[in-house]
Structures are given as structure tokens and as C-alpha cells.
Structure 1
Amino acid sequence: MFRTLAVAGVLTVATVTAAAATLNAHAAVNAGPVVAAATPTTPPGQYPNPGVVTGATRTHDPSVVKTPSGGYIVAQTGDNLPLSTSADRTAFRAAGAVFPNGAAWTTAYTGGSRNLWAPDISYRNGRYYLYYSASTFGSNRSAIFLATSTTGASGSWTHQGLVIESFSADNYNAIDPNLTVDTAGRWWLNFGSSWSGIKQIPLDAATGKRSGTTIRSLAGRGGGAIEAPTLVRHGSHYYLWVSFDFCCRGASSTYRVMVGRSTSPNGPFTDRNGVALTAGGGTQVLAGHGSIHGPGHQTVITDADADVLFYHYYADSGTSYLGVNLIGYDSAGWPFVY
């Protein structure tokens, strides 16, 4: 989720007001429009509409996990981190919030607000892990926390504490977390928004908390807008999905989904043309088209039928909704959506 329309790290009051109003409008999860599904024959380089979803599809910064029983849980930005569920990846229903009684430990970072950002939900070792961020617009005085649950249900989550925080003197922003477990069983937390870009820290697999002091740089645009990392392995590569440009402007949002890849979870990541993501590179996979505005803050899961891309987009009305598309890979191993 974009918080830093930064010129030397400065956010205008008008932009903050507009972005906050947009986000508050999206915090509740409501039924959205039904958009015609694209066909699997959509060629690479053309952008399909989202697949058909129904019910509680009003969302922002969705993160999705498949449950052991075969259903889906969606965690998203909003007051106390709203949840929704689906049995079939098509029909969704509201399912309460992660912290229905609030999360008092976050308010020092949110200015007292209950609005928490950009959760990352996954299922590991018999329980659900939820990394999420607390901050205010335009500030990198931010924090990422961890909660765990054995069921994923509203109110079942246990606060596990702070994972990493950032301060105004730092050149990064501790928001937009994403957990990756590599083929060697090592845990990594990817995070970041604007400033100097996307970062990565090692985690202790036993606790899910930070291990050591190393911070790697995975991607950046020289201060330009980049955020929402999602690092997923497919085949012999790790694909780093990010969002470029601006969220939270309703139908004027310019978010777009980009990707790079590496044979290592630590990079270096390059795009299709060989440009390093740390040098502003990125191969575009999805962008606004027609009545689909600013698709981004993506998450990727591997499902029984395909890899699946979840994201939010804005309708002409300025309301944000859940987008779902399948992912294909061309002969060179680069992803496209259909």
C-alpha cells in the first residue's frame, strides 16, 4: 500500500488527505462488481480483466493463504485487520478481524488509529503466521509485527511481538512484509515501500522473529515508488513481485505489477532485459486498462490448478476490489496473467 508519495521523503497534505479518505472508504469489506473473466488464451503483453469473484470482495492490500482443508483466508488492510474467507476462490464472505478487540501495541506507530496495513498470511508448521505493519501516511516511523493462530479465525490470533521497526533516520520503511521460506528451509522477511526500496532480513524459523542484523537490498528505483514485495519460487527461480507507482488515488491510481527473478532468494534480481531490480529494473505483468485502475499490492500462491495472482484494483467509482487471475509462464520462464 502506498504511503510515501515522496519528494525527498515529503508528503503533501492534500495527498495524505485524499489517500486517507480512500483507504477509510475501503476498510470495510463489501460486495463488489462482477467482472468478466479472461480466457486462458489471453496472450502475454495484453492485460486481462480480473476473474469473476462475488460476495465480500471490497478489499485493499489482500494477502491470501490456502487452508489445509482446501479453503482460502484473506487478510487485508483495515481496522484491526479484516478477514474474509472462500471455499472456492470465487465466492467470498466477511469473517471478522484478526484483532476484534484492537491491538494496543501498535498505536504508538499509528497515531492511535486502529487501521493496520498490508498483512502477509501463510501457513507453516501447523499454524498460521501473520506479519503486518503499523505506521502513518508519509512516515517511515513504522513497525512490522507478528501474530500466530492455529485456526486463522477472527480473535484467535496471539501477538508474538515486534519483528522490525524503522525510524525517520533510516533509509527504508518497515511496512509491507512478506515471508519467504526457501528450499533450504531458511526464513526471510521481505518488506519496504519507497525510500531506498525493498529490503530483506533473515528470520529465526523457530520463532518467526528477526535473526541477526543483516539487511539486504532487493530492489529500488532511486527513491521512486516501489513497494509490496512478494517473493515466490517457481521452477528454478525465485520471482520477486513488486508494485510500481501510486496507490490510494481511487480511479487515478497508477499502481502496476512488476517482476524480476533470481536463482537465489537473496538476489540479485533482474528483469527480462537483464536490468537489476536494484537499478530500477522490472518486467511489467499487469497494469491499468479499461475500467481496471491501479492493480497492485499483489500476492502470489501456488494452487492446484496454477499459480494465482491476487491484488486490489480500483473501479471507475474509486472503490477498491479484489482481483484474481491465473499465472502462466512463457517459454523463457517469464510470468504473464490470464
Structure 2
Amino acid sequence: MTATEPVVDTSTWGARHAHDPTAVRDDDGVYWLFSTDAYADGPLPRAGVPIRRSLDLVTWELHGWALDGVPADAVAWAGAEGLWAPDVVRVPDAVEVPADQRWRMYWSASSFGSRTSAIGLATAPHPSGPWQDRGLVVTSRHDVDGPNAIDANAVVDDAGRHWLVYGSFFGGIHALELDPVTGFVIGSGGRPRPGPGLLLARRPHAVEAAIEGAFVLRRPDGGWALLSSFDSLFNTYHLRVAVGPEPVGPFRDLAGRLATDVDADPVGSVVLAGHRFPGGPGRLAPGHASVLTEPRPGGGERHLLVHHVRDAADPTQHEAQVRRIVWTTTGWPLVAAQPWAGPLEQDDESTWPASTAGLAGVWEVVTYDRGDVLTEAVPRTVTATELDGLVPLGSGRFTWNGADSAAGATVEVVVHPSWDAVRQRPALSFAAIDTGTGVVTVGTQVATTADGGRP
């Protein structure tokens, strides 16, 4: 640390100041969180991608930084003062790489509002490091039409092909095929490659082409989901989803609209946006999400959304949060109303509600009919009579043919155990999507009929 660098007590950070986060789990079950070089209270204490460590995805401690500042070639190309939006992945065992290159980090270098950017690669034997910079992978110039070379997401398709999904504002979301062995763009010889590659999603210039932070997630029963962040990073940021047959698309929403169709904007269902539950803090502009996929105790996989969110009372303050992803019977990913509570979570889906018993009562409900506003949760009393139309499908899944749904449409519902972050107690939560409108609603039960009303 030089004399001009600020002195910051990073031991108190926890999940605070973690922006554009991604989390991985090592072979010992320890979690590692990587994020943008961001500090909400002033100048960066240093650059090089902060690394946090956790045993439960709830309590985080700063472990250090991955790299010793911004690599020289990134400074030369983009003039970057920090690194953004790292994506960290483990190279599959089927790919023969040196032991010290089993883990890859794709980082971004740019400056706000500029398309002169670069995505670089670093490798390590373990998420904790040591990380070694390998150079620039994809580049872009501000005066050249095309995607902005930031916000990388590395994904392997069902055929074993490796892809780099990337892009932010300006030119939309694209994908380039990677060499599985080197991690660089295929055919590039390990040299930086300009885009664009295959177009996956875009938005019109009338809204500043405001789409970024894409993450492509494998669906449990086949196909892929594209999660991406829309609108302004500072206040209207929110997360939308579309689905497709391959990680490179084509991606469509429930109405069948293509994610590349600028005339249909905005495409996709809002699955997470600004919200507030009574008695709790306002959660503003959640987004730039990644997904941690890991084995579920007892078998199967669980998917956990890792994202940043701002404090509505002071939007300069941001932190990382983790939330459960639940899947409808038709394979749409929805995001839990409550943050992940680690060992307090009930994770065995076979024990999730199998009938409507216990579902009557008072629920605090958020409807994401718009993504660019902070929505206040409202109480709704659900009666046993209303639940007569809810058809159980097993493991917390239900379908409902409601009178207010479009003709032929249904509402797909997932009810699951959660931890009420406001009341600090176990509670049922739900996430639902109307297949006619694509609108998502989430909520948490705060009182059952047997309680005689709200506590």
C-alpha cells in the first residue's frame, strides 16, 4: 500500500461493498465470493478483485484480493482503475489443463459509460488462489459499433462446447465460443479477439440499450434460462428471465417474444426488482446476478441466485445477497421472496407443502408488474375457499386456474419453507408466474388462519 492509498478497515465489510458478485464452492464445501473493485464509502482501498470466504453463504469474511491491481495490458487498453464483474468457474475434469489452471476467472476492465473495454483471464489451482493473469480475451472500442466487452459468463453446453456470454448496454448480449483447453476465444491463438459473436439479447437505443450482466443457467429438465439485468444500475435495475433450447438461444419469454426483438421491448418476466416488506429495509435496484449450482443434501441440485442490492435509504450502499431459485413444473426459474438463511433453510423438497393445508392466512405480497420501481409489499388474506382452485403437483408445486388469468392461462406456484428476515423466524414463502401475462408475484406468510390474524 502506498502513502496515497486510503486506509480502510476491510474486516468489517462482510457482504457490504460486494458489487456484481459471483460465488463458487470448493471441493471442501467452502464458499468463495468474487466481486467488482467497489467501495461505497470513498476511493478504492485497492484494485484486483476482492475475495470473500464463507461456510454458510450468510457470513462473509474478506480473504484478500485475487490480483495485484489492474493488469498492465488492461490499463493500456481501457485505462481501467479497477476490475469489474468477475466470473469464476471450475474447468470440467474432462478437459485436460495444468493443475494450477483448473479454476478460471474472467474479469472486465473499462470505465463508466465507455465501450473501450476488455475481458481478461486469470487462472488458479483453487478459488483462494494464487491467481495468475493470462491476458486479454475479448476487446471492444468505443468508436466501433458492437457489444461492450464486459460482464463475462462462461458456460459449457450439453455437447461440451465452451462459450463466453458477454456484453453491456450499447450493443446487447453476445456469445463467443471458447477453446476448452486455453480458455481463449477459439481460433484466436491465445490473442485478444474483438466481438461480436452470436447475438443473444438486445434492447432499443431509446432506452440506452440498457441490458447487461447476463447469466445463462441450465434448466433442470432441459434447455437454458437467460437471466439479465435491465435499466439503470443506480435505481431502476432489475432482473428478467427468458428461456431457450441452447445457451446461445434463441431466448423467448412466455409470450414467445424473442430477446433480440427490440420492437417487443421489454422482453422477459421480472423475477427480482426493488421491494420492501413491512418493518424491513427497502431493497433497491437488485441485479447483476450469477447462480451457484451445488449438490443438495440428500440428492439433486439447488440453485442459488447471488446478486447485489442497494439500500433504498442510502443507494450508494450496496451488498451481496443470496436467494433461492425455485422452478415451476414447466421449467421457469423464480426467485425467493426472502434472502437465503444458510443452515436455517429447509432444503429437502420432498417435505415442501404437498397440499393446501396450512396455506390459508395472511401473506405479505409483492407483484413485479414493473421492474423499474420499488414495490411495497401489501398484506393479502387468503381463505380456504380461495385455495380450492389450487391444484397440488408435488414438492411445493401448484397450479391455479384463476378467473383473472387470460383465457387458457394458468398461474404456476411454488410454495417453500423460508426464513422471514424481518421477523427472524421460519415462514412459508411462495413465488408464482402467470403464464398469460408473464407477471411474477412473490410473498411470505405472516399469519395462518389458526393464528387468528396477524401477529
Distance 2:250 2:224 in 1: 10
Q: Deviation digits for residues 81-114 of structure 1, max 9, x if unmatched?
A: 111111121111101111135422211244252x
Identify the residue that residue 222 of structure 1 maps to in structure 2.
204
Please point out which of 275, 278, 281 is paired with 1:289. Answer: 275
Q: Indicate whether 1:307 and 2:303 are aligned.
A: yes
Q: Give the letter for the 2:75 counterpart.
A: T
Distance 1:30 1:298, change over 3 A: farther
Q: Give the letter for the 2:117 counterpart.
A: S
Q: Give the letter for the 1:282 counterpart.
A: G
Q: Deviation digits for residues 8-43 of structure 1, max 9, x if unmatched?
A: xxxxxxxxxxxxxxxxx9x996757xxxxxxxxxxx
Query: 3-state DSSP class of the match of 1:106?
Result: helix
Distance 2:10 2:239 in 1: 23
Distance 2:36 2:305 in 1: 17
Q: Give the letter for the 1:332 counterpart.
A: T
Identify the residue that residue 18 of structure 1 maps to in structure 2.
none
Give percent identity, aligned residues only: 36
Distance 2:12 2:268 in 1: 33
Please point out which of 76, 83, 86 is paired with 1:116. Answer: 83
CA contact (8 A) 1:57 1:322 kept: yes
1:160 to partner: Cα distance? 1.4
Please point out which of 33, 45, 51 is paired with 1:74. Answer: 33
Identify the residue that residue 317 of structure 1 maps to in structure 2.
314
CA contact (8 A) 2:214 2:227 kept: yes
Distance 1:326 1:185, change over 3 A: same
Return 87-96 or 289-298, whichever deviates more: 87-96
1:194 to partner: Cα distance? 0.9
Distance 1:330 1:31, change over 3 A: farther
Query: 3-state DSSP class of the match of 2:184?
Result: coil
Please point out which of 246, 250, 269 is paired with 2:232. Answer: 246
CA contact (8 A) 1:259 1:283 kept: yes
Identify the residue that residue 152 of structure 2 maps to in structure 1.
177
Distance 2:203 2:286 in 1: 19
Distance 1:289 1:184, change over 3 A: same
The alignment of Structure 1 onto Structure 2 pairs a total of residues equal to 285
Distance 2:319 2:172 in 1: 26
Distance 1:141 1:175, change over 3 A: same
1:199 to partner: Cα distance? 0.5
1:231 to partner: Cα distance? 0.6
Alignment of 1:121-132 (within 5 A): 121-124=88-91, 125=93, 127-132=102-107
Query: 3-state DSSP class of the match of 1:120?
Result: strand
CA contact (8 A) 1:29 1:82 kept: no
Distance 1:331 1:56, change over 3 A: closer
Identify the residue that residue 239 of structure 2 maps to in structure 1.
257
Distance 1:134 1:101, change over 3 A: closer
CA contact (8 A) 1:31 1:56 kept: no
Structure 2 residue runs without a partner (length 5+): 1-5, 38-46, 94-98, 188-194, 277-281, 297-301, 337-455
Q: TM (normalized to structure 2)?
A: 0.60
Q: Which has the higher contact order (CA 8 A, sep 6+)?
A: 1
The RMSD of aligned alpha carbons is 2.0
1:304 to partner: Cα distance? 2.7
Alignment of 1:68-107 (within 5 A): 68-78=27-37, 79-100=47-68, 102-107=70-75
Q: Indicate whether 1:158 and 2:132 are aligned.
A: yes
Q: TM (normalized to structure 1)?
A: 0.80
Query: 3-state DSSP class of the match of 1:296?
Result: strand
CA contact (8 A) 1:28 1:58 kept: no
Distance 1:197 1:300 in 2: 21
Computing the radius of gyration from Cα coordinates, the structure with the larger value is: 2
1:195 to partner: Cα distance? 1.2
Alignment of 1:187-202 (within 5 A): 187-202=162-177
